[in-house]
Structure 1
Amino acid sequence: MEDLCERIERAALLRTVRILAARAHPAAHDAGTAFLAEYCAEDAALLQLLRADAGASDDAIGWILDAAQRLAGAGTSASEHAAPHEPTHLESVFNRFGAANGSKEGFPIRSLTDGAGMLFPRPVGDLDDAVRGHREVCDRLARHFARKSPVHMPLGELLRVLEETMSYVPSPAGADIALYDYARMTAAYAAALHRYAAAQDIHSAHTYEERGGEALPAFLLVSADISGIQPFIYAIPSKGALKSLRGRSFYLEILLENIVDEILSACGISRSALLYTGGGHFYLLLPNTVDVQNLLTRCHTEANSWMLEHFGSSLYLAMAWTACTGAEFAGQGTQEAFHRVSEGLSAEKLCRYSEDQLAAMFVPESAWNKTRDKDRECAVCHTSTTHLMPYSADSSIEACGVCSHLFTFGERILTKNAFCVSAERSAEALSLPGIGRTLYLTAEELDDVDRLSYKIERIYAKNAAYTGDLPAAHLWLGDYSARENKALLEMENLAQRSGGTEDSKGIPRIGVMRADVDNLGAAFLAGFPSEYVTMTRTAALSQRLSLFFKHYINLLCSGSVSGVGDRQKTAPFSLFGREKKAERDVHIVYSGGDDIFLLGAWDDIVELAVDLRRAFLRFTGGKLRFSAGLGFFKDKCPVAEMARRTGDLESRAKDQRGADGRPQKDSVALFGAVTEGRSLAEFERHTPIYGWDVFIDHVCGEKLAFLRAHCIFEEGAKGERLSLGKSAVYRLLTLLEQDGQIQLARFAYALARLAPPAQSPAQEAYRRVRTQLYEWYRDPAERRQLSTALQLIIYSIREKGEGSNG
């Protein structure tokens, strides 16, 4: 028999379907009710709840649904509300985010999975035929319901189906809030209200209002964050590094998702209550009851005890929560609620572990400190263990079971799309923390999960839809990886792919990109003007960001940079105008929340970084931006060192100052000059840092383009372009990094030495190069940009076999 809370959530979700059906058939009488009656006829009581008008119900369930709908749709003025049954287009949530710029953009009505391209916002005036769009989406939803009645769908599947069909349909909560976000927030509010009301002996709308209604502290805003992610991910040997990286980063993602689901399962609430997850962080909306607070305390303690047992103090789960009223979430109090829980989380990180855990940590023979075998140590994580096994990527070393299985997991996630959590241990399973139990994670094929020999607690379906009856969550995941003949390209292969192929010119280097969104924390706390601040709108913002960093990033890596419906298709950015395949030779190590780590062939990394920046700017209407570090390394460089140095570059990009001395951010820092024999200190001293527009338009679009148009970088080459050999380029680069009148004279002399014979067809190109480079040298900013352009050219013209210290 269906749990009452589950029934309430189902009714809350299906009530919003009435809105879609009514807009799809505006001429029909009560089309929404008729649509649901076709698929829910077997459950007359549920159908009655779906027919009920908001505000008219006082039965045991109806009043909760009505109150939840009011909360999910509150806080927006009447002029901003999307008419419930009037077919319109979804506006971008960024229209109301940040400073108003007068533009109003939106989306065509469509399903999330329609087509293979990204859906960028367009001017609202360019959008038409909303009725047809609603009808097509409604027809897709009908096909899902014909396959399986919404009465029988597990809530996880129903949420996935509604996400697919209603993510680009506007809601009554506001023209910029998708019907899917309105639906899941209605369900989240309804579930929390039901649990709170039961604990407080509230059984009717009258009692609810009499006790205080929306002024009651019925909700908990819960926040959690895992510390130590980066050291955990990068603590790997060089051999098989890519598979280890992917295994470790995805394992932590599933670990956090599983903690979320353990909490929700114990609360008897669906994933509608999950406001945001990504980058090692999550937010939940839960009922404010003593039982739930005790559960959170228990989960927090047990998760950290489990981490101490398996990883020592290298990983830590911080968790905090704050009581909130419905009135706060319906208006400006949302910002204050996020501020309170953020402060609580920061304070919790400064006071880690319970008293019992701290006491045990100082006992030498405790389970967390005991040396299991002083003569046997894992070659990867360096913990003592009684059980070592050969490390699959490097037979010369032995590793503990966890490290060995993490590598194997990294291999399997490349080909598997179902990640199954079970209470039964199987071969090569990875341990996960549960509440009052230990769970185990395996990677399987989605088509096989209903036939596995062990009992599954829950499934995480990666970029795929599960339609069975097991508890399942659909996860968007940035998992693009460069391959050849279906085999993953390892570090050495990626480095050799600079220039497009292993036979192309281009120094063999790994490029690494680390980036995150500028001021995202402040955006969640104060990004919307006060009149637009609601929890529903905040949830809509987080959903859009997750869509970009966990779904659309795969398309960008594959070379698809145009939007659906673009009249003119955009080509991927190119540094040197070479003929290359569209698919980038890169790997996504992780991309979630606001954080990106990519590595690949160095030129593909730079080009992809520009594609990402352009797409993100377009996706957010210019309201959010990111800063990045781009590092270049030999393929034998330890991954931890790559990550550290590129992280330093990212920090320097974020510290970039404008003319007024304030942080400019929206910048990129590149790891330094490439001339022979430079020390690390010299590299860092000459690190170029630019605003993105300066790098794209001036370094690449002007300086690099000018040099490509007027020079050929081969010694003694004939033709109309000026011949510049590598030694000449190095000479110019050295002079560009120096200042003063004497250096200016030396630079002019160096330019004079480039002159071709008097009758050479390259004379005109030489005159232009001499004049332009001399002019750029005289301006410090232009000189620095020219220096970076020459550095990129040096990288591009080096032969793969040349020795290099750079």
Structure 2
Amino acid sequence: MSSQHPVIECGIRLLKSPEGELKTGWTEQGGKELAEACSLLNIKLDEPLTLQALQSVFLEENSPEAAPMWFKPCELKAGPLPALVETPEPDQLTLRNTLQGLRQTGNGEAAFSDPLTELEHYGSFIATSAHASTPLFDLFKSLAALYDCLKQGTPETPCLMVSCDFSGIQDTVYTITSKGALKTLRARSFMLELLCEHLIYEILHMARSDRHAVIYSGGGGFSLLLPNIEQSHDSDGGIIEKIEEYRETINKWALKEFEGRLFIALDAKPFDKEKLRDQASFQEIRQSQADALDRLKRRKFSDHLETLFTPSMPEQVTVKKECQITHRDDLTDDEMFDLNELKKCVSMASVDADKRDSDDYLWVSESCYHQFKLGDKLVGATGIFRYTTAIDRSKNPGTLVLPSASGGMVSYTVEEVADATPATQWSINSWDGQRLFLYANYVRKHGELSAYARQEEKEQLLEEGRRSVKADDTASFAGLAASSCGADLIGALRMDVDNLGKLFSSISNIAQLSARSRMLNLFFKLHLNHICANRSFDLLKKNQAEHEEWGKPGRNVSIIYAGGDDLFIVGAWDETVELAFDIQEEFECFTAALPKGANGISGGLTLHQPKFPLYQMARLSAEAEAYAKGDRDAEELKPKKNRISLFYDHSKVNRKRRLGDRELSQRYMLSMQWGLANAFLRSLMKVYQRCFKQTAFQSEERKGIEIEKFSYGTIEKWFAVIKKYQQSNQLYLPTMARVMKDVEREFSDDDKDDKDDKAELFKNLVSYLYTTEENKRNWISHLHIALNWLTYLRRKV
């Protein structure tokens, strides 16, 4: 052991002794600073530090309802995250051998030139005796950050907490039209994630620190623990003053780039090391900084009021010459570009004045042009390259330019520029480089769609003026909608973790904060890609389809944004419905140690025509999600979260309101708890599944389903039963009996060999509808969701 850093000698070579423990005295070469850092993280120095199986990081201490569960030790890599198990690995030696085996069969030590990358790769799903629910990685990363503070910081206040929160993300990302929407929106979302990483990089450089100082990053913000040094890197000013100066620089750029929609609140708070010694003091620091960020957001752009309130005439006075993606009209001709030009960026100032209003040109701002170009490149991107020298954007479309703290601008690309050397680079979802960039990058490509959907997409793009489409291009709304079964509709899915503040309020130190926030990021930015690429809930058995009639493997959806604790996904409507169930199931498994009902994930899904504006899809699906979080069942006095609202729209909301008081409105539920959704709705749809028959609509390529045993008339009768119940609070038994008799009669026409199976199916259906009073109340108030699901599946356009 030498200087006792890079990152505390990579977890002391991942707890180096053959028995999987560090003997007492392992901190001696690190001096008093390391011993003090261990004390602040409650690491006992008079006992050996041993390997342990990692308990769920979401385990709430002192909660009798929470049953401990453990992760199986494994490498961290792109793909599925390990499941929690009820029985941990038996002893330290087994854990040590498992860890050693992973290192020998994996890439090996030589593959990691960066110790933090190695530590994260091998130490994310294993713990130590210091704290069973804190991963080895987060413990030693936090130890390194504290060690830096104590070694380099000022004696009185050696620690500096720097936190950032983006305000106005929704307005910044989603306020665009449907022209090139998927590409542009994904690129704009990516740009904000990159902006977060860019700010971290710049501030770390000022403080002469590195990635181990990142407590968390994601969800439109970050927090860093830095040494409170008197002079920043290459500067005579203090670190706090330099951070404040950079806050002004970055917000001046944001004001111009996003017209005041985005504001970056950035605060630096020095404090004494003793504030980290107990939970109450640590929570006080976090709350104080949260209050400071709120004050900044309430006074956003206060130094730019003259710019904000100075009236100006638009530069573009026709709707054809404003930006066709964001509708900006404040840019001059030489700042506008033609989106239809696929080979190079053509300045509209070079176009003859009498031709500028022609439909041959699609006017967009320079920023939107490069975001549109970046959208396709993101599909196969494996890295991000940072250049401090000027990059010719006309030769490298898709380049993002962001302001540096040292003055000037820096450029970012997802493809290496031939005639320039990158100053830094990140690997996307891969631990084979020095810096990691987690990114929910699952997207459906044109070449992965079915033949029918590809043809529909080509025709739609030609109609919009696009001249060609390649196999690797991002699938458009037209292609995704045509990939649906039944109705050609787009599903917009928003989901968000419930009670997140409560989950983080019990955190006692920076290692726990790092662990919980990082695990959520791993789920939403890494594991979500795997969930989208694999159909678990496969109602239409698309995984079993022959000749790629539903397109290539993987869901016909695209992730617009995912990170922190929420997501926004669009795609073929039937697959977004199934995907919502997959995500909830995986999230429940990943957080299995939480007390039942204490935390969950709520969501909302809306359906739209493919030409519907994307920002409206985002708004309505967010409204559906909020409705689910605020809804409650008949027996509940307060809203109960962990719900899903499927097929939400304003007509249903108005119908519910017309029912009147709460008792009446509970007869028409627009959301349901996940327990009921899985037990009733999903199970009922699986009963219907046995009656599905795939068929071709319009052409051999256009696939759909028919349900011979449930005619449209039968479905309409069910709707009539629901309406009668809502009006009178009575189950109209004669109508119900006739409906079930019709279904039974339809089954009786089958061949004798199928009769027994169909009779069993009929009994299963009846069991969902008639067995108990609770079942009756649940199915009659939620049955319209299943009926709508069936109706959309059966539509032929």
TM range (shorter): 0.7 to 0.9
Q: Deviations over 1:215-259 (max 9, x none)?
A: x54222222111221222223332322111211100110011101
Asked if 1:443 is matched to 2:413, the reply is: yes
Q: Partners in 2 of 1:751 and 1:660 — Cα distance?
A: 32
Q: Partners in 1 of 2:692 and 2:772 — Cα distance?
A: 16
Cα deviation, residue 395, structure 1:
5.4
Asked if 1:668 is matched to 2:644, the reply is: yes
Alignment of 1:196-207 (within 5 A): 196-197=153-154, 200=155
AA at the equivalent of 1:444: V
Q: Deviations over 1:621-673 (max 9, x none)?
A: 25241110011111111111111110000001111235342231101111248
Q: Partners in 2 of 1:231 and 1:243 — Cα distance?
A: 17
Superposed CA RMSD in Å reads 3.5
Q: 1:380–1:399: 8 Å Cα contact kept in structure 2? A: yes
Q: Deviations over 1:53-90 (max 9, x none)?
A: 42x45xxx73333333333444x899xx9x42x44322
> Which residue does the alignment assign to 1:92?
56
Query: Secondary structure, in 3 states, of the residue corresponding to 2:194?
Result: helix
> Which residue does the alignment assign to 1:730?
716
Correspondent of 1:310 among 257, 262, 284: 257
Correspondent of 1:401 among 344, 363, 366: 366
Q: Deviations over 1:355-403 (max 9, x none)?
A: 3x22343344xxxx68556675323221321221112499542011011
Cα deviation, residue 510, structure 1:
1.0
> Which residue does the alignment assign to 1:553?
528
TM-score normalized by the length of structure 1:
0.78
Alignment of 1:355-754 (within 5 A): 355=303, 357-364=304-311, 377-381=322-326, 382-386=328-332, 387-392=335-340, 396-423=361-388, 424-427=390-393, 428=397, 429-445=399-415, 448=416, 452-465=418-431, 467=433, 473-483=435-445, 484-485=447-448, 486-487=471-472, 488-499=474-485, 506-526=486-506, 528=507, 533-559=508-534, 572-575=536-539, 580=544, 583-623=554-594, 624-657=599-632, 659-672=635-648, 681-682=654-655, 688-701=670-683, 703-708=684-689, 723-739=709-725, 740=728, 744=732, 747-748=735-736, 751=739, 754=742
Cα distance change, pair 742–590 in 1 and its aligned pair in 2 (3 A): closer
AA at the equivalent of 2:409: L
Q: Partners in 2 of 1:405 and 1:314 — Cα distance?
A: 19
Q: Partners in 2 of 1:404 and 1:681 — Cα distance?
A: 40
Alignment of 1:96-135 (within 5 A): 96=60, 99-101=63-65, 103-113=67-77, 116-125=79-88, 129-135=94-100
TM-score normalized by the length of structure 2:
0.79
Q: Partners in 2 of 1:710 and 1:583 — Cα distance?
A: 24
Cα distance change, pair 540–757 in 1 and its aligned pair in 2 (3 A): closer
Q: Partners in 2 of 1:418 and 1:728 — Cα distance?
A: 54
How many pairs were matched up?
692
Q: Partners in 2 of 1:600 and 1:757 — Cα distance?
A: 35
> Which residue does the alignment assign to 1:282?
222
Q: Partners in 1 of 2:15 and 2:624 — Cα distance?
A: 48
| Structure 1 residues not aligned, in runs of 5+ | 1-6, 33-50, 201-215, 500-505, 561-571, 715-720, 802-806
Q: 1:89–1:169: 8 Å Cα contact kept in structure 2? A: yes
> Which residue does the alignment assign to 2:35?
66
Query: Secondary structure, in 3 states, of the residue corresponding to 2:81?
Result: coil
Q: 2:717–2:739: 8 Å Cα contact kept in structure 1? A: no
Q: Deviations over 1:286-345 (max 9, x none)?
A: 233561211221121111111112222111111234333333323212222222222222
Q: Deviations over 1:103-146 (max 9, x none)?
A: 22222333213x9532112123465632321322454699323x
Cα deviation, residue 18, structure 1:
3.8
Q: 2:769–2:776: 8 Å Cα contact kept in structure 1? A: no
Q: Which moved more, 1:574-583 or 1:639-648?
A: 574-583
Q: Partners in 2 of 1:10 and 1:771 — Cα distance?
A: 64
Query: Secondary structure, in 3 states, of the residue corresponding to 2:99?
Result: helix
Q: Partners in 2 of 1:774 and 1:317 — Cα distance?
A: 56
Asked if 1:797 is matched to 2:794, the reply is: yes
Cα deviation, residue 430, structure 1:
2.0
Cα distance change, pair 711–136 in 1 and its aligned pair in 2 (3 A): closer
> Which residue does the alignment assign to 1:502?
none
AA at the equivalent of 1:378: C
> Which residue does the alignment assign to 1:188?
145
Cα deviation, residue 680, structure 1:
8.1
Cα deviation, residue 553, structure 1:
0.9
Q: Partners in 2 of 1:405 and 1:305 — Cα distance?
A: 21
Q: Partners in 2 of 1:298 and 1:757 — Cα distance?
A: 75
Q: Partners in 2 of 1:421 and 1:775 — Cα distance?
A: 63
Q: Deviations over 1:533-587 (max 9, x none)?
A: 2221121111211111111111111117xxxxxxxxxxx1234556556621111
Cα distance change, pair 98–384 in 1 and its aligned pair in 2 (3 A): farther
Cα deviation, residue 188, structure 1:
1.1
AA at the equivalent of 1:694: L
Q: 1:307–1:316: 8 Å Cα contact kept in structure 2? A: yes
| Structure 2 residues not aligned, in runs of 5+ | 231-237, 343-358, 449-470, 546-552, 659-667, 696-706
> Which residue does the alignment assign to 1:213?
none
Asked if 1:238 is matched to 2:195, the reply is: no
Asked if 1:226 is matched to 2:166, the reply is: yes
Q: Partners in 1 of 2:428 and 2:747 — Cα distance?
A: 65
Q: 1:137–1:166: 8 Å Cα contact kept in structure 2? A: no
Q: Partners in 1 of 2:83 and 2:544 — Cα distance?
A: 25
> Which residue does the alignment assign to 1:136?
101
| Aligned-pair identity (%) | 24
